[in-house]
Amino acid sequence: MGIKEHNENKTSAEGVLRFVKRWGVLVVILAVSAYGIAHGWHQEFTLSNLIKNQHLLADYLARHPVLTPLFYFVVYVLAVALSFPGASLLTIAGGFLFGWFFGGVLTVIAATIGATLLFIAAKVSVGATLKERAGPFLDKMASGFRKNAFSYLLFLRLTPVFPFWLVNIAPALFHVPLPTYLIATSIGIIPGTFAYAFVGAGLDSVIEAQEQANLGCAAAGTCEVQISALITPELIWAFAALGLVALIPPVIQRFRANSPK
């Protein structure tokens, strides 16, 4: 092998290594997510299946009090990192199995870790590429976002309008510091997480009412319980109000900056 050929092979190997380091994790996440959705994994996350298997899950928890929450934790981290639909249902399941407090705490930690994994993967790949090729407009937008990143992230997390996966990725494109992302994410998801955990903790009474109207529906998986019926419009408006409160600091800051000296 000549020196030229050796150098070309070395350059090629270095290029592949750079590609894997930058894009590898994100490619794996997207591939696994696409595979799971194509095979209907997310379709197993249904309220009917949760109700149908409630006794099986409760029995497994009684026999494996440590392994069950650990398994739930890992599944939740992966579900968020892979941007799988059904995180709200998993949160309800956590409240149902472990109670609103422990289920809520477990979910907040798992969701934060899963979101952070996706954030890091996006920041290393897409975020780094955009930073290299960004024009003046994107640079200005990113700079403005970073100045009030904590408030903006709280608003995005608290307001139940934006897809969770999008809020996980968007800050990476604006080069938000990891500590800011971690703190804003963990705080911002607390209200929604505990609201769904409360719903899960009270699911027994809902199932009991359904059983009275339709005997045997729980075991058959035919109880007519919709998540939309459990999460009231008033609760959604409360989240939106919290999100608006999070925007008060940057609004005041801008007002002061524009006011005459």
Residue 183 covered by a domain: yes
How many domains does the chain contain in total?
Answer: 1
Strand ranges, E, within the chain = none
Q: Got the DSSP string for 14-72?
A: HHHHHHHHHHHHHHHHHHHHHHHHHTTGGGG--HHHHHHTHHHHHHHHHH-TTHHHHHH
Please name the residues in contact with 74: beta carbons below 8 A apart, sequence gap of 6 or more. 110
Please name the residues in contact with 113: beta carbons below 8 A apart, sequence gap of 6 or more. 77, 80
Please name the residues in contact with 240: beta carbons below 8 A apart, sequence gap of 6 or more. 158, 159, 160, 161
Q: 10 Å Cβ neighbour count for 184?
A: 24
Residue listed under structure tokens 């994107």: 138
28 vs 22, residue with greater confidence: 28
Residue 163 covered by a domain: yes
Given a cut of 50, whether residue 162 has pLDDT beyond it is yes
194 vs 38, residue with greater confidence: 194
**Torsion angle of alpha carbons 125, 130, 131, 133, nearest 10°?**
130
What distance in Å separates the CA atoms of residue 160 and residue 144, rounded to the nearest whole number?
A: 23
Across residues 99-124, what is the average pLDDT? 91
Q: Give 97's pLDDT tier (boundaries 50, 70, 90).
A: very high
- Kindly state the percentage of the chain with pLDDT values over 90: 18
Residue 198 covered by a domain: yes
Q: For the ranges 5-9, 38-42, 56-60, which has the lowest average pLDDT?
A: 5-9
Give the closest residue to 80 by CA, choosing from 50, 119, 47, 46.
Answer: 119
pLDDT of residue 176: 85
167 vs 93, residue with greater confidence: 93
Residue 19 covered by a domain: no
Residue 86 covered by a domain: yes
Across residues 117-142, what is the average pLDDT? 64
Residue 140 covered by a domain: yes
Given a cut of 80, whether residue 111 has pLDDT beyond it is yes
Residue 238 covered by a domain: yes
Give the closest residue to 152 by CA, choosing from 128, 127, 178, 180.
Answer: 180
Which one-letter amino acid corresponds to residue 260? Answer: P
Residue 35 covered by a domain: no
53 vs 241, residue with greater confidence: 53
Range of the domain at 65: 41-258
Predicted TM-score (pTM) of the model is: 0.74
